[in-house]
Amino acid sequence: MAEVLTLTTPVTPPAITTWQVREIHISPEEIAVLLVSNLGQPFTWVSATPAQAKTLAGFINQGKFMTVQSKSLHRWIIDQLVAAGTLPSGTVTGTVE
């Protein structure tokens, strides 16, 4: 076995404290969302099935995230990912860009 250093105190990586939507891709078969953490770590969520993409695209195309839920598209996406357990819970803050 090669020589290794076993640390007395493990190095703790910096914590991810925020995620921001950077890109949204919509097609008839798939929706993909690129999020980037405060550490610059990318995470891509992709719809599971074409049926799921169609449902989400219909909701987006009709603007229901604004008219029904009074949310921006980015906030609605983040809320959906938190509700699904894809992202940990937290509070969405900031202004719509």
C-beta contacts of 69-74 below 8 A and 24+ residues apart? 72/96, 73/24, 74/20, 74/21
pTM for the model:
0.77
Per-residue confidence in pLDDT tens, the chain, 97 aa: 788 878 788 888 889 999 999 999 998 889 999 999 999 999 999 988 889 888 888 888 888 778 777 888 898 899 989 999 999 999 888 887 7
| Partner residues linked to 26 by β-bridges | 31
Per domain, the residue ranges of the chain are: 19-83
